[in-house]
A and B are shown apart, each in its own frame.
Chain A
Amino acid sequence: MPLELYLDLFSQPCRSVYIFAKKNNIPFDFKKISLMEGDHYGEDFGKVNMMRKVPAMRDGEFCLAESVAMMIYMVEKFKTPDYWYPADLHKRARVNEYLSWQHMSIRMHGSKMFWVKVLIPKIMGREVPQEKRDAAIEDLDESLKWLEEKFLQDGPFIAGDHISLADLVAIVEVYQPVGAGVDVFEGRPKLSAWRDRVRQEIGPELFDEAHQGIMGAIEVVKTLDSSKMQAFRPRIQKMFF
């Protein structure tokens, strides 16, 4: 029985898991979970991940959440090429350093842009206050600055000469604000060049396919029935208004 991967490609960590599995020819059952339609609240999915988050994995009887944990599991189980998660102590430390840092920086601020620019206006029927929008952009800018100056520096990739889990996790997060209409690559030649290299290494077809959903997200959100998304209102009100 192959691995089951529960994924919604609108979600950044789902994209990294998807790309990793496909690129490494790991056989899996793609179990589509639509977050916008509330599939994660289904009874069966609750048995796979009681926290009701994606991505989630079921391998036989073993269930696992968290994209980083899942990819490291797959690295070990399927003996993927060393460069993804190098055995070398120092290179691996660099990958781990990025994988840890990114949760509260690029992931948080990139996700926020998507909410601020696309989802909140749809759900609340009005824009987030200007100062909060400006603050969100400032935070995202700072994260991108560190990605370029500390993690990439002059290397082709975060851990050195080869792509690794760090670049994969980075690129899917960087694309979230892009899906929200914020062109993070404009005026950032270093980041753009790195993006081109990452896309090349992953394979342009796979990369584009995985990102098709998020790149069309603005259009999809337009068609959604906002009355069905009212469950988000209280939290949004607390956090943004």
Chain B
Amino acid sequence: MPLELFLDLYSQPCRSVYIFAKRNNIKFDFKKISLFGGEQYAEEFGKINMIRKAPAMRDVDFCLAESIAIMTYLSEKFQTPDHWYPADIHKRARVNEYLSWQHTAIRLQGAKVFWLRLLIPKMLGEEVPKEKMAAALEDLDGSLKLIEEKFLEEKPFIAGDEISLADLVAIVEIMQPVGSGLNVFEGRPKLSAWRDRVRAAIGPELFDETHQIVLNAQEWVNTMDGSTVQAYKPKILRLFM
């Protein structure tokens, strides 16, 4: 029985897991979970992950949440090429350093810009104060700057010469604000060049296919039924506004 991966490709960590599994030819059942449709609240999904978040994995009777835990599990179980999560102590430390830092440094900021620019006004019908938007953009800028100056420096990839989980986790988060119509790569040649290398290393077809949904967000948001999301409006506003 193959692995089951419960994914919604609107979600950044779902994209990294999807890309990682596909790139490494890991057989899995794609279990689509529509977050905006509230499918994470279905009874069955609660048995996979009681916190009701995606991505989630079920490997026979072993259930696991958190994209980083899932990918390191897959890398170990399927003995994926070393560069993804290098055995070398220093390279691995660099990857771990990024994977830890990114949660509150880029993931939060990228998600915030996506919600403030697109979903909160368009799906929740709530106006976003100018200064909140400006602050969010400033924070995102600061994080992107750190990615360039501290994590990339002059290297082709975060851990060195080859792509790793760090670059994969980074790229999916950086693409989120792009989905809201913000071209974060403009005026950032170093980041753009790194993006091109990451896309090439993943495979342009797989990269583009995975990001198609979020990159079309500005269109589908107009046709989306946001009624389920409305129920979570207070929590969303609390987190992002």
Contacts and interface: CB of A to CB of B under 8 A. Distances in A.
Interface of A: 50-51, 62, 64-70, 72-73, 76-77, 89-90, 92-94, 96-97, 99-101, 103-104, 107-108, 135, 139, 146, 149-150, 238
Contacts of B103: 100, 103-104
A139 B67 CA distance: 22
A97 B66 CA distance: 6
A19 B63 CA distance: 30
B69 A93 contact: yes
B104 A104 contact: yes
B65 A101 contact: yes
20 contacts: A50-B150, A51-B150, A64-B97, A65-B101, A66-B96, A72-B96, A73-B92, A73-B93, A89-B76, A96-B66, A96-B69, A100-B66, A100-B67, A100-B68, A100-B99, A100-B103, A101-B66, A103-B104, A104-B108, A139-B238
Interface in B95-114: 96-97, 99-101, 103-104, 107-108
B217 to A, nearest CB: 22
Contacts of B200: none
Nearest to B50: A150
Nearest to B71: A96
B100 A97 contact: no
A67 B96 CA distance: 10
Contacts of A62: 90, 93
Nearest to B102: A103
Given A51-B146, A89-B76, A97-B65, 14 more contacts: A66-B100, A69-B96, A69-B97, A69-B100, A73-B89, A73-B92, A93-B62, A99-B69, A100-B66, A100-B99, A100-B103, A104-B103, A104-B108, A238-B131
A66 B69 contact: no
Closest 3 CB pairs of A and B: A103-B103, A69-B96, A96-B69
Q: Is the interface of A mostly helix, strand, loop or mixed?
A: helix
Contacts, number: 85
Interface string B206-241: 000000000000000000000000000000001000
Contacts of A107: 104
Contacts of B51: 101, 146, 150
Nearest to B95: A69
B69 A97 contact: yes
Contacts of A97: 64-66, 69
A91 B65 CA distance: 13
Contacts of B99: 69, 100
B149 to A, nearest CB: 7
B183 interface: no
A93 B108 CA distance: 23
Interface string B56-75: 00000010111111101100
Contact of B238 (A51, A69, A76, A135): A135
A69 B135 contact: no
B73 A66 contact: no
B75 to A, nearest CB: 11
B67, B70, B90, B103, most chain A CB atoms within 10 A: B103
Contacts of A108: 104
Contacts of A51: 101, 146, 150
Residue with the highest number of chain B CB atoms closer than 10 Å, among A66, A67, A135, A146:
A66
B50 A149 contact: yes
Nearest to A53: B101
A225 to B, nearest CB: 28
Nearest to B135: A238
B47 interface: no
